[in-house]
Chain A
Amino acid sequence: MAASVFDRDSYLRALVRAGAGGLLFGMPLLYTMEVWWSGFVLPWWKVLLVLGIGAFFVSAFTRIEGFRRDRTLGEVAEDAAVSFGIGIAIATVMLVVLGQLDSGSSLREWVGMIALETVPVAIGASVARALLGERGGGGDGSSIEPGAWGQAIVAAGGALFFALNVAPTDEPVLIGIGNRWWLNVVLLAATIPVTFGIVFYADFRGSHRRRREKGSVSPTLTPAGETMISLAAAFAVSALLLWLFGRLGSGTGFATAVDQIISLGFVAAIGAAAARLLL
């Protein structure tokens, strides 16, 4: 049992980095009034569900890169809890400073708003650690190839992370139902090449080049396979978010539902495609 030395400076720096990432990625939603309202308008179990989905993806991102390099499942849970702790602290302070919570607010307003605003901040904190963390050290250049499920989870995480900024607002509904039908078809048609372009040609971090050199043959790791996974994840996440924020329900017509999923799906697909290559 060799006890490794605790490096206080680097631990605190990782905390500050996570907080900065949380602020950076969470800020658009902290300044979105539809999210404040959703905090008390949504039924409590939907707020809980948003928290649960957030916890799942925070854990997934934490698994990729955490505060410490030697991570067991317990440590992943620990780091995810710290991400949420940072998220709750930032969301609470910001909502009070922005005047959305005060002594006149009910318990439901406090917990609902803090819970919803915590999710993007916590995801931002975990993504910041995954993306902006110090690389290298003991690693071999991070070359664990994800399986199809891993890919789908990362793509869905990126879709969620990106689409969450837009889903609670009125715009996807407005675009979805207000747009001419053929423009929605154009948007849907554009989603596919844009996703493919990001996955294949942009090739952030050169992951495809690395794989080609290694002669990777798995069909889910080809550009077409990854594009399909990204699109599937994007449209699934869009439908889920629209339902969570009350845009889709039993009273929504089929065409309206499809139009909304297309308009939000474009946003989600960009996130899904980029996440596949960034993470």
Chain B
Amino acid sequence: VRSRHWIEWLVLACSVGVVAALFVLLVYDGLTRMGDPRLRVVLSAPVRQDSAWVVPLSLRNDGSAAAAGVDVEVTLSTGGGQTSSTVTIAFAPGGSEVEAGVLFDENPSLGRLEPRVLGYELP
């Protein structure tokens, strides 16, 4: 066996390192995160935008499986009744957070906002 040059050592060590890291992280994430998509919606403070109000929201998936075509409905209850807006989010990968927003014509700060996940598809 001939002795290796330090460049060969360096390239080999880096390669083995990243391959091992990728392997370990993939298995670790696969074994620690179990089950179906677990979706929850977190609302942020409404923002005025031209004639409408935008309620920014983030959809979090704490499960391991990805969800596709996630329908999110946000209902605004005021003294005058209820209005709801919906948004469809194409993909919510496991363990991820996706930003979105829904729009209302009246100021959402004057009532109560209730988010709800209507359904999703398993891709």
Partner of B26, one of A4, A11, A82, A112: A112
Contact flag A6-B123 (CB < 8 Å), given A81-B16, A106-B93 = no
Determine the residue in chain A with the shortest Cβ distance to B93: A40
Known interface pairs A37-B123, A44-B30, A48-B27; A85-B16 also in contact (CB < 8 Å): yes
| 23 A–B contacts from the bound complex (CB under 8 Å) | A2-B2, A4-B2, A6-B5, A11-B8, A12-B7, A40-B93, A44-B27, A44-B29, A44-B64, A48-B26, A48-B27, A51-B22, A51-B26, A81-B12, A82-B15, A85-B16, A89-B18, A106-B94, A107-B95, A108-B33, A108-B94, A109-B95, A112-B26
Bound Cα distance A105, B61 (Å) = 12
Query: Which listed residue, B7, B15, B22, B33, touches A11 by the CB 8 Å rule?
Result: B7
Q: Quick check: is A149 within 8 A (CB to CB) of the other chain?
A: no
Chain A positions 73 through 96: 1 when the CB is less than 8 Å from some CB of chain B, otherwise 0: 000001001101110110000000
Q: How far is the CA of A273 from the CA of B93 in the complex (A)?
A: 38
Q: Is the CB of B110 closer than 8 A to any CB of chain A?
A: no
- Interface centre among B1, B5, B22, B96, by most A CB within 10 Å? B22
Q: Mark B80-96, 1 if CB is under 8 A from A, else 0.
A: 00000000000101111
Whether A37 and B91, one on each chain, are in contact in the complex, defined by CB atoms closer than 8 angstroms, is: yes
Residue A118 at the chain B interface, CB threshold 8 Å = yes
Interface of A is mostly: helix
Q: Does B45 contact A (CB under 8 A)?
A: no
Contacts of B4 in A (CB 8 A): 6
Q: What chain B residues lie within 8 Å of A4 (beta carbons)?
A: 2
**Interface residue range, chain A:** 35 or more
Residue-by-residue, is B31-49 near A (CB-CB < 8 Å gives 1, otherwise 0)?
0010000000000000000
Picked from B14, B22, B30, B93, the residue with its CB within 8 Å of the CB of A118 is: B22
- In the complex, what residue of chain A is closest to B95 when comparing beta carbons? A106
Task: Give me 20 other A-B pairs in contact (C-beta within 8 A), A41-B66, A44-B26 excluded.
Answer: A4-B2, A11-B5, A11-B8, A40-B91, A41-B123, A45-B30, A47-B26, A48-B27, A81-B16, A81-B19, A82-B11, A82-B15, A104-B96, A104-B97, A106-B93, A109-B93, A111-B29, A114-B22, A115-B22, A118-B22
Find the B residue at minimum CB distance from A3: B2
Query: How many residues on the B side are at the interface (Cβ–Cβ under 8 A)?
Result: 33
Does A8 have its Cβ within 8 Å of any Cβ on chain B?
Answer: yes
Distance A85 CA – B25 CA, assembled complex (angstroms): 16
Question: Smallest CB–CB gap between B122 and chain A, Å?
Answer: 9
Residues of B at under 8 Å CB distance from A?
1-5, 7-8, 11-12, 14-16, 18-19, 22-23, 25-27, 29-30, 33, 64, 66, 68, 91, 93-97, 99, 123
Distance (Å) between the CB of B18 and the closest chain A CB? 5
A166 at the interface (CB under 8 A from B): no
Interface centre among B25, B26, B91 (most CB of A within 10 A): B26
B66 engages A40 (CB within 8 Å): yes
Q: What residues of chain B lie closer than 8 Å to A118, measured between beta carbons?
A: 22
Instruction: Give every chain B residue within 8 A of A115 (Cβ-Cβ).
Output: 22, 26
* Pair B22/A111 contact, Cβ less than 8 Å: yes
Q: Is the CB of A88 within 8 A of B25?
A: no
Nearest A residue to B2 via CB reads: A3
Q: In the complex, which of the residues B7, B11, B64, B91 has the most CB atoms of chain A within 10 Å of its own CB atom?
A: B11
* B122 nearest CB neighbor, chain A only: A41
Are B15 and A84 interface neighbours, CB within 8 A? yes
Instruction: Indicate whether A148 reaches chain B with its CB closer than 8 angstroms.
Output: no
Judged by a CB distance under 8 angstroms, whether A15 is at the interface is yes
Interface residues of A in 1-23 (CB under 8 A from B): 1-4, 6, 8, 11-12, 15
